[in-house]
Each structure stands twice: as C-alpha cells, then as structure tokens.
C-alpha cells in the first residue's frame, strides 16, 4: 500500500469515526459516531465490512482485549492510517482552495 | 424486551462466530434504548432497516474474506468461526490441492463425470419413453381390442357405432410402405391405415391442418395423409407442407395434417396415417379395433359389454368354432398395452443406471480414501497444532463438493453428447421428438453429482473419525505396510467388483437372450427378401384375380436383380396364420384336428429359402393339376407335421385333406419348419398347398421376392410396385417391406434393451477398471519403500510384478464371488427379458468372471510395472 493512498468517502468517514471514538472504538460506537456527526443512518454491516477492508489495508488494526465484561473487537488507527487521513485531507483542501462558496450556493 | 427474531437469525448466519455476540448485543442494547425513547414500533423499523441494509455488505464481506483469507488480528490464532467464508476458504484450499495432484483429480472427476453423465443421458431417454404422458386425451378410457383374428371391413361396417360400452370405435392396421422424398431413393416408413374416427377416439388434435373426415374413406376418394412431426420437419417444417403431394405407397398423396411433436399411434415408429377406404362388402382384412369407452365405464371392467358384443357379432355372422373371433376377445387400456411391454426394459435400464452410479461413487470414495491415507502425516500435524476433527472433516467435504461440481459440469457435457448420440442411435421414433436434454436433466445431474460427492466424503471422514491421528504421525514416517484404511480400501474394491459382476452378468443374460432369439432358425432366410402386400379390387372374380396374381408374380420375377418370386395368402412370422381341419387317409383318429394351411405359388418355398427335407417341392405342373380339379392335388408338409402325424412312418405318398374341401391331396415333400408368430413357440404342423387348390382367390396376397446376393431388396420394392400397377392399375399396395424387418419385430422387446444395456455394461467395466487401477496404484506407491528395500535385497522385478498383480487379482476374485452370490438372488428380476438362457448360464457367468478378472489384471499391471521398476537408491534417499 503506497503511503499516500487516498481514502474513499465512506472509508474516510469510518476512519474519522474511529479517531473520534478514541479508546472505545468498536463496531457499534463507530456506527453511532458517523450517525451523530453526519445525521445519516448507517448499516452496521457496512461499517464492519469497511473496517475489515481498512484493516486488510493496514490503515487500522484491531485487538480483542480480555478485560472483564463483553469482549469487543477494538479498532485503532495505525501510522499508515494517519498518513492516509492527512493525505486525503490535503488533497481535499487543495481541491477546495480558491473556490468561492458564496458563488456556488 | 427482545429485538425481532427473524433479522437476528439472519445476522447470526452472516456473522462469523467471533463477532456475533458483540454485534447482536450492541444492536439489542440500542434497540431497547430506541424503544424506550420513541416507541417499540419505531425501534423495530430501525432494527429491520439496520439488518436489511447490512445484508449486502456482509455477504460481499463473506465472499471477500473467503477469497482473500483475511482474518482480523483481533481473532488471534483462532479463526473467526463458521460462516460461509470458512467454506469458501476450504473450497479454495481443495482446488489448490486438486491442482497439485492432477492425476488423482482427473481420475476422480472423470469417474464421477462418466457415472453422472452416463446416467443422466439414459435418464433423459428413459424420461421421454417411460414417463412422458401418452399423447391422447383421457387415455384411461381408451381401450385396444384384441381378438384371435383381425376383423374384416364388412364386420367393421356392421359393428361401427354399435359396440356396447364404447362411444366410438375405430379400426386400424399398421405396416410399412415406401415413401419417396425428392430424388433420394425410396425409404420404408411405418404407417397406420385407419377408419375416419381414429383421431376422435384418441382425442388427438393436429398441430396443423386437419385429420380424417368421413368423406376421406369413400371408395375412390383422393389419397390423403396425416404425417408426424419429424416427417413434417423433414419436408421443410413450414405450414406450406399442407396441401403438398408426397409419393407415398407409390401414389401421389396429399398431406392434410401434421400431428404435434411426440404424437404416435399405435407404435412410436409410425410416421404416416392414412384413411382406410372402406368397402362394406369386403370380407377380407385384418384390422384391429381401438375404442373410447362411454363416460363412467372402466376399461378393465367391461367383460359383460364384451360378451354382449360377441353375441351381437355371432347373430350377424357365422363363425365356425376354430374361426370364432368372439371367443377369447379382450380389451386392454392403451396405457397398459403400450407401457406393459416396456416395463422389464425400464427396470433393467434403471437398475443398470443405479449400479453405474454406485460403481462411480465407490471408485471416487476409494480414491479419496487413498488421498486421506497419503495425507496422514499432514493431517496429523494439523491435528497436533490444534485443528479440530470437524475442521479436517470439513476440508474433505469441501474437496468432494469441488469434485462434485466440476464432475457435474463435465458430466453434463458428457450427458449432452451421450444423449444426442443415443437419440440418433436408438429406434425411438416419435419419442425422439419429445426427448429433449433440458435444464431439468442437467440440474438432476448436478443434484446427483453433489449428493454423490457428499455421500462419498462420508467414507474418508469416517475413517478419519475412527482413527487415532496422533498415532499415524509416527506410522507415516516409516510408511507402515499395515497402514490404517487398507481394509476399508480393499473393501471398496471388493464391493465395486461385485456390483460390476452383477451388472455384467445381468447384461450378459439379456445379450444372450437376444442372441438366442436371433439364433432360433425362423425357417426362412430373411436376408434379401422383399415383401409387397397387394389387395385386388373385390369386384373382380376369383378367376380374374388368379390371373392377375399369376401375372404379377411372373412380372416381379423379371425385375433386374430379382432371383425368384412367390406368393402366399399369409406370411409367416406375423401370427394370425390360417388353420383348417385335417383328415388323413388311414388315420381316422386325427379327424377334426386342425393345422395351419398356407396357399403358395410354386416358387414361394425357394424364394423364402425354405429347404426341402424329403421328396420334392411344389412345381408348376402341380398348379395346373390342382386347378384342373381332377384326381386331387398334391401337398407339401413341414417336419412338425410329419413328426406329429406320421412319427417314424414315411409321409411321402400318403393322402391328406388339403383343408379347403374334402378333396384329398398326395404328400409329395417335407420341408423345414417355419416360425408362425412368436419365435419362442413350438413349430406348428403346416400344409403348403398350391394356391389353385382352393377355387377362391383371396383378394389380398403377399408377394415375396428374393434379390441377388449383396443387393438390398428395398431398392427393388419400387420396381415391384410399378409391375403391379402395370398389370392391375386398381390394385392397392398395403405393405412394402422386407422379411428382415418382419423378423426384427418378431424378436421383440429384449432387443430394445440390448443397445442401452451393452452401453451401460461397457461403462461399468471402464469404471471398474479405473477403480481397480486407482486403488492398486495407491497400494503400490504407499509401499514404494518396501519394494525398494526388497529389490535392494535381491527380489526380482518379476516377483514384484507378480505380487502386485496377485493382490489386485485376489481382491477382484473376492468381489466376483460376492457379486455372483448377489446375482443368484437378483437375477430373477430379469426373467421377463430372458429367453433360452438359464439364470446360471455358463457362458454368461464365464464372460462376467473372465471379463472382470481381465479388467482386474490389466488395471493392476500398470502400477505393478511401476513398482517393479522401483530404484531402491532413489526411494530410500527420498524417505
């Protein structure tokens, strides 16, 4: 995976939700983050499928801590993932630069 | 408060075990939260939407995981647990394993494909023949009449519309005629001549045009014909066929209708139906009756109606006791009449199919077992590393499913080719029109393939389950001779051979029966003999007919390529021979007996190849002498007659009645016996009299002619027809065929089973050989180390060869013994198809035993040869 791999829109949303959820990033909390921040209803299956793909690309990693209560698959963003987020943001900014929002609206 | 159950169950299927608990718990928690905030209904809607929206992405994730083998790090060393992805991975693993072992894979796939494809092809045919609905409406109320003698036109004209219990009755007869299409030489086609109500009785509608109307059967009406679908296609397959003229039975005939695909009556080989022109005064004819029962009547309960019918006929016509056709008359439903003769064939073919499939399964099972044995070390290592038996078993199942799918596809291709071949090779007639190889046969093949594959995987799974895996880790290092599974593997070979013996012996019985039927000397030399049945107009006087027939026989004799020609009033091999009373001078005790009589022209005996055993044949001067009605005539008898009435006495010169008057005739010769109808019947005592003996000349006569050796009599049928037309333009030619065809029909139903059964037997032998080869070559490769050591110690390669072949042969021998035991019990089901052979026929048993032994030896030779060539240095270094 090249370092400046860019993320798809939904991948970007899931990655950012993982970051927002912090230490408590499991499937359902990621889904809720997306929902609360975008206002869109997201299917849990789509979230898991994307998380799997992101993990396969080594953009996030998952562990299953065995510490009391329900054992959940917890996601964390990797260094590769961070760089991908930064690169995606940079690309987006570059594209938006110089565009007058007032005239678009 | 629990979330809805159905979507929960759906999720459970789609999620791997490792994720199930958290996802379901978290969803349930949110569901409860939503229910308390916005009500149960909205929560449910939400839950349902969550699940339904998740299904596509979860499904594609399953496929993706299966394809890539992705497993999250969170799962640690364990796999996520059973979801379809595990199966996909196992299948991929199986495919890789199979690709690495091409010989095993090809052998297994080929075996299964042959078994599945072969039985699917036969199933496709069997379905068309045995399971297709009859092409008649309400066939249960159609009855075929059977009487000891056929009915004449005069009788039919009287009984028409008056048969008790039947709303309509049609008369029909079927035989062959010539058909000329374009410039191609004339061919023989089967046709039915029937009264106009035939299609109404059958409840059959034409696909195109019309069927018969009553005006078609008037004397002198235009010749019209209804044709079957395959002939329609042969004629171009467009509605323009209607109204065209074909040259049928030597006369231009207008096509008025086309029957739908698959229609037949009464035989599937019939291709043309023509209306019978009806002459109510004509007392000849040999017609059968088919009727539709009145509503509410049952065909099998019509004895009282038949008795009334018989009474009605006896009041109008006088029947002498031996000619009384109202006695021994019965009615059979059309389904029984058509299906019954096929039943033994059906049973035999189906059983053979099942056995083929069984052999193929056993083959593949033993191949897989060999693979499991070969993988013992690998499996033991896996088990030692924590793979559960379930997991290992699943790999085996996955492997056989992959084999099953590939074999199913290959089998479908084989089935398609085999099916097309069978359709063109078998005399299916109308059945070929409806026999289609469609998706149903294909999916049946696939289902069978998969079911078979699953059943097969049970065998190695069982062996895996029962064995101690850890123990085999040690044993496999040394390639122990007494490895586990040897017994099971040997058992499979024995089982397979015994099924094959059963099948070869069963097929052998059928082949021998048919052979015996053909071996029966029908008493005539059928090859090279053409037959034309001629009916002269009934308004001719007897003398006019006699002269016309004389001229016809003489004319046919002059056709180039024709050796001799003769005539008789009734052909042998077709049944319905005439019989008449007999008295013998000096033997008053035989009075009132009746025997077969045949009126012939002098060259009849020579033309049919009937040999004179004593005395002389009939000669030209006998004809004139008989006609002159002076001191009585002469007569020739057959051997059965001589044996029955004269025993050891010399019959030549004795005087008997000729059967047509009290006039006595002198016996001048004895000829060999000729089969009258059923080949298996004892020969009938028969008298041959010059046709002039009786002053009546029947309007219908069979003209027979023999062509020069090497010629096809079909080619001369047209010439014979033009001779007849020239001499008697109003003659009707009812029949133009060959004695060979008449004999083939007399041989009967076992003949139909012959082709299919020999084909299936060949397949069984091939599969048996593959199975024995597979097991023996595995046996050899597992003992490579043993052979290596022994050869290093001085064992000669010849003895290695002998050892391997000996082992293969002993397994086969065991299978043969068991198979013969089963055969002794099961062969009684074949009795309906058997003739002239006992169930313990030595030839059949010898062929089965010899065949299987040969296959066994041949199949173990290649592995044995490989074993004998083992280089000890190489083997010992390898291991």
Choose among A44, A49, A50: nearest Cβ to B27. Answer: A44
Query: What residue segments make up the domains of chain B, in order of their start?
Result: 5-82, 88-135+343-476, 148-328, 479-522+743-879, 537-730
Task: Name the minimum distance, in Å, from the CA of A19 to any CA of chain B.
Answer: 18
pLDDT at B272: 92
- Residue B32, chain A, CB below 8 Å: the answer is no
Show residues of chain B in contact with A43, CB under 8 Å.
Answer: 49-50, 53-54, 57
Give the chain B residue nearest A73 (alpha carbons). B74
Interface confidence (ipTM) of the complex: 0.88
Q: What is the pLDDT of residue B506?
A: 81
Query: Which of B48, B49, B57, B75 is most worth mutating to test chain A (most A CB atoms within 10 A of its CB)?
Result: B57
Residues of B in contact with A50 (CB under 8 A): 57
The confidence score (pLDDT) of residue B786 equals 76
Q: Pick B244 or B373 by higher pLDDT.
A: B244
The residue in chain A having the minimum alpha-carbon distance to the alpha carbon of residue B22 is A72
Give the angle subtended at the CA of B844 by the CAs of B112 and B495, to the nearest 5°. Answer: 35
Contact B50 A27 (CB under 8 A): no
Q: Is B640 in contact with B689 (CB distance < 8 Å)? A: no
How many contacts, defined by CB atoms under 8 Å, are there between A and B? 80
Contact between B209 and B180 under an 8 Å Cβ cutoff? The reply is no
Rounded-to-integer distance, Cα B416 and Cα B422, Å: 10
Look at B727 and B835; give whichever has higher pLDDT: B727
Closest CB to B73: pick one of A45, A46, A63: A63
Beta-strand pair B270-275/B187-194: parallel
Task: Return the residue of A nearest to B55 by Cα.
Answer: A45
- How close B41 comes to chain A (CA, Å)? 17
Taking an 8 Å cut-off on Cβ atoms, the answer to whether B74 and A74 are in contact is yes
- The minimal CB distance from B58 to the residues A45, A64, A71 is found for A45
Which chain B residues touch A71 with a CB distance below 8 Å?
21-22
In angstroms, what separates the C-alpha of A54 from chain B's closest C-alpha?
10
Determine the pLDDT at residue B61: 87
Question: Residue A28's closest chain B neighbor by CA?
Answer: B26
Interchain proximity B22–A72, CB inside 8 Å? yes
Residue of chain B whose alpha carbon sits nearest to that of A70 = B22
The DSSP code sequence of B621-666 is HHHHHHHHTSS-EEEEEEHHHIIIIITTS--TT-EEE-SSSS-EEE
Higher-scoring residue by pLDDT: B607, B476? B607
Task: Give the chain B residue whose CA is nearest to the CA of A32.
Answer: B30
Residue B222 tokens, joined: 């235009």
CA distance, residue B71 to nearest chain A CA (Å): 9
CB contact under 8 A, A73 and B61: no
Which chain B residue shows the shortest CA-CA distance from A29? B26
pLDDT over threshold 60, residue B477: no
Query: Which residue of A10, A30, A43, A47 to mutate against B (max B Cβ within 10 Å)?
Result: A43
Residue B661: pLDDT above 80?
Answer: no
Backbone φ, ψ for residue B579 (5° rounding): -125, 155
Q: Cα B195 to chain center, whole Å?
A: 32
Share of chain B above pLDDT 90, in %: 14
pTM of the model: 0.64
Give the chain A residue whose CA is nearest to the CA of B47: A43
Cβ–Cβ < 8 Å for A59, A3: no
Residue of B nearest to A72 (CA): B22
For chain A, positions 10-49, list CB contacts with chain B under 8 A.
26-28, 32, 41, 43-46, 48-49
Handedness of CA B652, B655, B656, B660 (dihedral sign): positive
Which helix (H) or strand (E) segment holds residue B548: the answer is helix B542-557
Partner residue opposite B23 with nearest CB, options A27, A52, A56: A27
pLDDT digits (tens, 9 = 90+) for B10-25: 888 888 878 888 888 8
Residue ranges of domains in chain A, CATH in brackets: 9-95 (1.10.10.10)
**Range of B323-327, B751-755, B837-841 with top mean pLDDT:** B837-841
Q: What is the pLDDT of residue B301?
A: 85
Residue of A nearest to B24 (CA): A28
Nearest alpha carbon to residue B329 among B577, B576, B146: B146
**pLDDT beyond 50 at A99:** yes
pLDDT of B731 strictly over 50? yes
How far, CA to CA in Å, does B182 sit from each of B230, B247, B281, B493, B731? Answer: 16, 9, 38, 58, 25
Indicate yes or no: CB of A45 within 8 angstroms of CB of B57. yes
Task: Find out whether B344 and B832 touch, Cβ atoms under 8 Å.
Answer: yes
pLDDT class of B184 with cuts at 50, 70, 90: low
Cβ atoms of A1 and A57 closer than 8 Å: yes
DSSP chain A: --TTPPPPHHHHHHHHHHHHHGGG--HHHHHHHHHHHH-----HHHHHHHHHHHHHTTSEEEE----SS----EEEE-HHHHHHHHHHHHHHHHHHTT--HHHH-
CB contact under 8 Å between A45 and B53, yes or no, is yes
Residue with token string 């071949």: B421
* Cα nearest neighbour of B50 on chain A: A43
In this prediction, residues B261-267 reach a mean pLDDT of 85
Give the position of tokens 């004892």.
B682
Question: Is there a contact between B50 and A53 if contact means CB atoms under 8 Å apart?
Answer: no
Residue B486 has pLDDT above 70, yes or no: no
pLDDT tens readout for residues A8-25: 889 999 999 999 988 888
Selecting from B26, B56, B75 the residue whose C-beta is nearest the C-beta of A28 gives B26
Model pLDDT, residue A1: 44
Cβ B72–A49 below 8 Å, yes or no?
Answer: no
Contact B359, B112 (CB under 8 A): no
Measure B29 CA to nearest chain A CA, in Å. 10
Half-sphere exposure at residue B342, Cβ-oriented, CA atoms within 13 angstroms: 16
- DSSP-assigned letters across all residues of B767-788: HHHHHHHHHHHHHHHHTHHHHH
How far A24 CA lies from chain B's nearest CA (Å)?
Answer: 13
> What pLDDT band is residue B567 in, cutting at 50, 70 and 90?
very high
Query: Would you call A53 and B21 a contact, using CB atoms and an 8 Å cutoff?
Result: no
> In this predicted model, what pLDDT tens digit does every residue of B426-470 receive, in sequence order?
667 677 777 777 777 777 777 877 887 787 777 777 766 666 655
Here the tokens at position B866 are: 């490989």
Kindly report, residue by residue over B208-259, the tens digit of the pLDDT. 999 999 899 888 888 899 999 988 988 888 899 899 888 887 778 999 999 9
Least-confidence region, from A59-68, B182-191, B264-273, B694-703: B182-191
Report CB contact under 8 Å: B49, A28. no
CA distance B74 to chain A (A): 4
Burial bucket for residue B28 (CB in 10 Å: 0-12, 13-18, 19+): middle
Interface test with A, best of B15, B22, B60, B77 (most A CBs within 10 A): B22
Of B19, B53, B54, the CB nearest to A73: B19
Q: Does B28 touch chain A (CB under 8 A)?
A: no
- As a whole number of angstroms, the longest Cα–Cα distance in chain A is 55
Distance CA B372, CA B483 (A): 12
Q: How many angstroms separate the CA of residue A88 from the nearest CA in chain B?
A: 24
**What stretches of B249-328 adopt beta strand conformation (E)?**
251-258, 270-275, 288-293
């Amino acid at each position: 995976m090249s370092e400046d791999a860019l993320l798809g829109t939904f991948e970007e949303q899931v990655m950012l939700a993982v970051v927002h959820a912090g230490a408590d990033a499991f499937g359902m909390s990621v889904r809720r983050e997306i929902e609360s921040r975008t206002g869109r209803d997201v299917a849990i299956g789509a979230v898991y499928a994307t998380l799997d793909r992101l993990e396969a690309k080594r953009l996030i990693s998952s562990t299953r801590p065995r510490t009391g209560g329900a054992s959940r698959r917890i996601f964390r963003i990797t260094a590769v993932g961070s760089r991908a987020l930064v690169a995606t943001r940079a690309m987006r900014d570059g594209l938006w630069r110089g565009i007058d929002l007032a005239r678009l609206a | 408060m629990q979330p809805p159950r159905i979507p929960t169950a759906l999720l459970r299927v789609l999620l791997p075990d490792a994720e199930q608990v958290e996802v379901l718990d978290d969803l349930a928690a949110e569901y409860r939260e939503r229910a308390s905030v916005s009500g149960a209904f909205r929560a449910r809607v939400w839950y349902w939407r969550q699940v339904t929206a998740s299904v596509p992405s979860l499904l594609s994730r399953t496929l993706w995981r299966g394809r890539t083998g992705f497993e999250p790090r969170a799962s640690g060393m364990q796999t996520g647990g059973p979801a379809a992805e595990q199966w996909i991975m196992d299948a991929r693993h199986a495919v890789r394993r199979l690709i690495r072992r091409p010989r095993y894979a090809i052998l297994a796939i080929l075996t299964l494909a042959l078994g599945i494809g072969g039985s699917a092809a036969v199933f496709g045919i069997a379905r068309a023949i045995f399971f297709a609905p009859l092409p008649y409406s309400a066939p249960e109320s159609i009855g075929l009449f059977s009487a000891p003698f056929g009915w004449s036109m005069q009788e039919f004209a009287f009984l028409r519309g008056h048969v008790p219990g039947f709303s309509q009755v049609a008369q029909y007869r079927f035989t062959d005629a010539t058909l000329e299409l374009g410039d191609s030489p004339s061919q023989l086609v089967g046709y039915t001549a029937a009264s106009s109500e035939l299609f109404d009785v059958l409840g059959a509608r034409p696909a195109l045009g019309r069927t018969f109307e009553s005006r078609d059967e008037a004397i002198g009406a235009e010749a019209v014909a209804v044709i079957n679908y395959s002939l329609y296609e042969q004629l171009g397959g467009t509605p323009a066929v209607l109204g065209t003229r074909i040259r049928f039975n030597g006369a231009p005939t207008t096509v008025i209708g086309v029957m739908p695909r698959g229609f037949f009556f009464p035989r599937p080989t019939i291709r043309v139906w023509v209306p019978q022109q009806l002459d109510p005064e004509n007392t000849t004819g040999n017609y059968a009756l088919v009727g539709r029962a009145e509503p509410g009547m049952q065909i099998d309960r019509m004895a009282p109606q038949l008795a009334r019918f018989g009474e009605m006929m006896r009041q109008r016509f006088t029947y002498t006791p031996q000619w009384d056709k109202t006695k021994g008359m019965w009615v059979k439903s059309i389904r029984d009449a058509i299906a019954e003769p096929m039943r033994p064939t059906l049973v035999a073919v189906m059983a053979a199919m099942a056995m083929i499939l069984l052999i193929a399964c056993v083959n593949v099972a033993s191949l897989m077992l060999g693979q499991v044995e070969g993988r013992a070390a690998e499996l033991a290592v896996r088990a030692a590393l924590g793979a559960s038996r379930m997991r290992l078993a699943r790999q085996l199942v996955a492997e056989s499913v992959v084999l099953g799918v590939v074999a199913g596809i290959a089998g479908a291709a084989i089935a398609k080719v085999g099916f097309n071949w069978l359709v063109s090779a078998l005399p299916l007639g109308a059945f070929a029109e409806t026999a289609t190889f469609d998706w149903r046969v294909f999916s049946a093949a696939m289902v069978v393939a998969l079911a078979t594959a699953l059943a097969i995987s049970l065998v190695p799974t069982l062996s895996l389950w029962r064995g101690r895996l850890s123990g085999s880790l040690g044993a496999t290092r040394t390639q122990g001779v007494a490895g586990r599974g040897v017994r099971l593997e040997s058992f499979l070979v024995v089982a397979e051979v015994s099924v094959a013996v059963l099948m070869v012996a069963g097929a052998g019985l059928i082949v021998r029966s048919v052979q015996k039927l053909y071996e029966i000397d029908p008493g005539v030399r059928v090859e090279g003999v053409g037959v034309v049945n001629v009916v002269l107009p009934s308004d001719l006087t007897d003398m006019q007919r006699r002269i016309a027939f004389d001229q016809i026989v003489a004319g046919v004799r002059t056709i180039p390529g024709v050796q001799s020609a003769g005539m008789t009033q009734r052909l042998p091999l077709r049944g319905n021979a005439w019989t008449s009373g007999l008295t013998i001078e000096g033997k008053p005790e035989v009075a009132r007996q009746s025997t077969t009589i045949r009126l012939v022209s002098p060259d009849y005996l020579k033309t049919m190849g009937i040999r004179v055993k004593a005395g002389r044949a009939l000669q030209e001067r006998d004809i004139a002498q008989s006609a002159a009605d002076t001191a009585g005539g002469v007569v020739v008898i057959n051997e059965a007659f001589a044996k029955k009435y004269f025993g050891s006495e010399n019959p030549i010169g004795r005087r008997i009645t000729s059967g047509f008057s009290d006039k006595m005739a002198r016996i001048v010769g004895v000829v060999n016996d000729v089969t009258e109808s059923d080949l298996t019947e004892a020969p009938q005592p028969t008298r041959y009299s010059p046709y002039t003996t009786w002053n009546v000349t029947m309007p219908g006569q069979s003209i027979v002619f023999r062509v020069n050796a090497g010629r096809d009599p079909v080619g001369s049928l047209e010439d014979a027809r033009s001779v007849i037309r020239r001499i008697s333009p109003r003659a009707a030619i009812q029949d133009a065929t060959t004695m060979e065809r008449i004999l083939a029909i007399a041989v009967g139903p076992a003949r139909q089973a012959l082709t299919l059964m020999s084909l299936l037997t060949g397949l069984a032998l091939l599969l048996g050989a593959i199975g024995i080869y597979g097991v023996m070559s595995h046996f050899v490769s597992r003992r490579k180390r043993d052979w290596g050591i022994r050869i290093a110690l001085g064992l000669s390669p010849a003895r290695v060869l002998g050892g391997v072949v000996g082992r293969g042969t002993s397994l086969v021998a065991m299978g043969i013994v068991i198979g013969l035991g089963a055969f002794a019990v099961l062969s009684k089901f074949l009795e309906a198809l058997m003739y002239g052979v006992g169930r313990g026929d030595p030839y059949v048993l010898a062929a089965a035993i010899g065949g299987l032994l040969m296959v066994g030896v041949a199949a173990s030779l290649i592995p044995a040869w490989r074993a004998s060539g083992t280089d000890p240095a190489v083997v010992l270094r390898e291991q």
